[in-house]
């Protein structure tokens, strides 16, 4: 017998080998029908997993994030089964759950049309209605490879071959005639999947590599209740209205041009102005925090990247000028990060312990060779600008400086209105990674991660752990943000590096006269300016906070006789640094107001004879509504205070 601690601390006794599914059934039929997966002593596991020792079991339903992903993962198998029924020659690639649903990649003769998706969805509903149970199957690597070859599934064969050297059994999940290579976990049956929608069909390269086959990716979402799907689809429609990739173009913040290149957005005057305002603000605040501004080259010889390790660990993500394999000729690469360049500032002369911490910063333009399938508006691009910094410090200064970096990032994110929707991830290495991703020894990684954990716990940071998400030289705290569709990206990162200083010989002379190696913090303060602009467009539905709005105030004279008075007010506001225009077109006031509202102007001032005679303005505010007949000086004081306090 084993003792199992359940939710609320209750301990029950069960037979050795009892599964979480059986435990759920013993508690009640309702729970058994709704449970999706389980956590055993904190580790996510399948409901079919035999329990063989005393443990703590948490039964997870669709209300839990892991429960949702298990639900959606099973739905992805239903999708694949439906596709194989309708298109037997289709080859299956991968089909994971993601933050807002699931997808599955298929190799098919031609991409699925909207009509095809409707057929597939109808077949999925038939499969669900049949209530097929899922069975977990284990095979040896040799058996698994043979089976998948017989099934003519080359992408699955490739995956099995990568895992065969571990000597572990390979798991499959079977439902009816369909069987798929999968580690799980999964629902007990397909029956709980009551509501399904296939939301999109796009192209995607196998493993995100443009040199590989292009596959057909089908996105979907599923829920236990039809009402939940209806609510989700309604939110999706609302999200489309805020999507920066649509709204940012309509409001003329940015554009893209095919013959310029994918992932290379062009900031139009509005977008360029917002980014300029953000950059100036960030640089001024950083200077007040003791940061030293640098300006370094946009490219360097491969020699620099070989010293730092980027040549060995990041070459695929770099734009290379020349033949990287020809050692006889010079070869350059555009910089994907600034750290090895800024280290040269430190190395310009011998440093003492008194020089530390040295906080080097730069508004850096960086270049990364992102996969074409990953490009998205301003969020995922190949050239971007970032508020980058490298703090070189003594070991005893690490915690205080890390705290300062975190406080600075939180201040910036809070001021631009994004912090409340951010989450934190402690990104760690994976000692089992076989792709030569990491530098350093196991002992160095354990030390740096232990130090970082202590700091994060001391600062009471509520974080999740991300295994195999670390940089190649050290662990990091990633501040994550989701776009309106639920896709998560890193907006700010703070990294601890105990390795690269030695590679560059970055010693300092300590109090005892001995040469010592410093620690380095790699950090961004507001992150990528383009990505921040995208998130702000979505967060504020295109209505920028007044202090950042590219056009803050527009004055609308009702007739020609009001233009001079309007221009005088505009000149006064402009002299205070406000961004103001006067719409003096020979047009009725109604269309002028409509145009200003469509452009999301924060303040619209209507100027007629009444306003002229009383030295007032009639104010239409995007945030405060209509404010009739306000004295000009009172309005000036109102907007000046809103700008000075950076009101959201």
- Whether residue 77 is annotated as binding a ligand: the answer is no
Cα–Cα–Cα angle for 206, 211, 215, rounded to 5 degrees? 30
Asked if the bond preceding 185 is cis, omega within 30° of 0, the reply is yes
SS3 at position 72? helix
CA separation, residue 291 to residues 98, 295, 387, 497, 524 (Å) = 39, 13, 12, 19, 12
Q: Are 545 and 648 in contact (CB under 8 A)?
A: yes
Tokens 């907006």: give the residue: 491
Rounded-to-integer distance, Cα 618 and Cα 628, Å: 5
Residue 478: name the closest of 462, 461, 495 by CA. Answer: 495
CA of residue 446 relative to chain centroid, distance: 26
Rounded-to-integer distance, Cα 43 and Cα 394, Å: 37
Q: Are 77 and 88 in contact (CB under 8 A)?
A: no
Q: How far apart are the first and last CA of the chain?
A: 59
Q: Are 20 and 7 in contact (CB under 8 A)?
A: no
Burial track 56-90 (b if 16+ CB lie within 10 A, e otherwise): ebbbbbbebebbbbbbbbbbbbbbbbbbbbebeeb
Tokens of 43: 């580790």
Cα-Cα-Cα-Cα torsion 402, 406, 411, 414, nearest 10 degrees, comes to: 180
Burial track 434-451 (b if 16+ CB lie within 10 A, e otherwise): eeeebbbeeeebeebbeb
SS3 at position 507? coil
CA atoms within 13 A on the CB side of 398: 20
Laid out side by side, the sheet with 463-467 consists of: 292-293, 358-367, 383-393, 519-528, 488-497, 476-482, 423-428, 463-467
- Taking every pair of Cα atoms in the chain, the longest distance, rounded to a whole number of angstroms, is 93
- Whether residue 390 is annotated as binding a ligand: the answer is yes
Rounded-to-integer distance, Cα 480 and Cα 458, Å: 20
- Whether residue 36 is annotated as binding a ligand: the answer is no
Give the list of residues 6+ apart from residue 513 with CB closer than 8 angstroms, or none. Answer: none
Q: Do the bridges between strand 266-267 and strand 170-175 make them parallel or antiparallel, or are there none, so unpaired?
A: unpaired
Rounded-to-integer distance, Cα 324 and Cα 311, Å: 9
Give alpha helix (H) positions in 599-646: 609-614, 632-644
Q: Partners of 136 in the beta sheet?
A: 173
Name the phi and psi angles at 595, rounded to 5: -60, -45
Tokens 């009383």: give the residue: 614
Give alpha helix (H) positions in 416-460: 442-458
Rounded-to-integer distance, Cα 413 and Cα 211, Å: 38
Q: Binding site for Zn(2+): what residues are annotated?
A: 339, 390, 522
Q: Binding site: what residues are annotated?
A: 339, 390, 522
């Amino acid at each position: 017998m084993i003792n199992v601690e359940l939710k609320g601390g209750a301990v029950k006794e069960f037979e050795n080998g009892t599964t979480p599914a059986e435990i759920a059934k013993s508690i009640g039929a309702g729970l058994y029908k709704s449970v999706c997966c389980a956590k055993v002593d904190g580790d996510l596991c399948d409901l079919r997993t035999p329990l063989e020792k005393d443990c703590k079991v948490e039964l997870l339903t669709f209300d839990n994030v892991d429960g949702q992903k298990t639900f959606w993962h099973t739905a992805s198998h239903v999708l694949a089964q439906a596709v194989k029924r309708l298109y037997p020659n289709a080859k299956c690639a991968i089909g994971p759950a993601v933050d807002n649903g699931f997808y599955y990649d298929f190799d098919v003769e031609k991409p699925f049309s909207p009509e095809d998706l409707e057929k597939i969805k109808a077949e999925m509903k038939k499969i669900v209605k049949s209530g097929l149970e899922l069975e977990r199957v284990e095979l040896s690597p040799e058996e698994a490879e043979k089976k998948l070859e017989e099934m003519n599934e080359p992408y699955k064969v490739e995956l099995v071959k990568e895992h065969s050297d571990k000597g572990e059994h390979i798991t499959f999940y079977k439902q009816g005639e369909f069987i798929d290579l999968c580690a799980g976990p999964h629902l007990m049956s397909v029956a709980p999947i009551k509501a399904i929608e296939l939301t999109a069909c796009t192209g995607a390269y196998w493993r995100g590599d443009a040199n590989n086959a292009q596959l057909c990716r089908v996105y979907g979402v599923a829920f236990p209740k039809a009402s939940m799907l209806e609510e989700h689809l309604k939110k999706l429609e609302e999200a489309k209205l805020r999507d920066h990739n649509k709204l940012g173009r309509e409001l003329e913040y940015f554009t893209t041009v095919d013959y310029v290149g994918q992932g290379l957005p062009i900031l139009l005057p509005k977008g360029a102005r917002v980014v300029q305002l953000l950059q100036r603000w960030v640089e001024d605040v950083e200077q007040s925090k003791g940061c030293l501004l640098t300006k370094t080259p946009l490219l360097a010889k491969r020699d620099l990247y070989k010293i730092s390790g980027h040549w060995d660990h990041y070459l695929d993500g770099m734009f290379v000028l020349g033949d990287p394999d020809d050692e006889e000729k010079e070869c350059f690469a555009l910089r994907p990060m600034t750290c090895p360049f800024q280290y040269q500032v430190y190395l310009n002369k011998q440093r003492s312990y008194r020089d530390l911490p040295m906080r080097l910063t730069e508004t850096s333009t960086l270049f990364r060779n992102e996969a074409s399938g990953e490009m998205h508006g301003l969020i995922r691009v190949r050239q971007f600008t970032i508020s980058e910094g490298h703090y070189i410090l003594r070991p005893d200064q690490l915690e205080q400086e890390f705290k300062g970096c975190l406080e600075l990032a939180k201040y910036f994110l809070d001021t631009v209105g994004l912090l409340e929707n951010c989450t934190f991830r402690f990104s760690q290495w994976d000692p089992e990674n076989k792709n030569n991703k990491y530098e350093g020894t196991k002992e160095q990684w354990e030390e740096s991660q232990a130090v970082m954990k202590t700091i994060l716990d001391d600062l009471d940071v509520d974080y999740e752990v991300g295994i195999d998400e670390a940089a190649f030289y050290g662990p990091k705290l990633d501040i994550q943000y989701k776009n309106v569709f639920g896709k998560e990206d890193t907006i700010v990162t703070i990294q601890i590096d105990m390795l690269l200083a030695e590679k560059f010989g970055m010693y300092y002379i300590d109090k005892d006269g001995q040469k010592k190696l410093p620690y380095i913090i790699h950090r961004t303060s507001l992150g990528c300016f383009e990505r921040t602009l995208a998130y702000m467009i979505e967060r504020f539905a295109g209505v920028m906070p007044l202090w950042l709005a590219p056009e803050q105030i527009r004055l609308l004279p009702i007739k020609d006789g009001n233009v001079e008075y309007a221009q005088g007010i505009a000149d006064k506001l402009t002299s205070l640094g406000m961004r103001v225009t006067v719409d003096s077109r020979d047009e009725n006031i109604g269309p002028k107001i409509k145009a200003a509202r469509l452009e999301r102007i924060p303040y619209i001032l209507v100027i007629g004879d009444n306003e002229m005679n009383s030295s007032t303005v009639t104010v239409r505010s995007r945030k405060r509504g209509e404010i009739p007949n306000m004295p000009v000086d009172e309005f000036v004081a109102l907007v000046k205070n809103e700008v000075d306090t950076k009101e959201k």
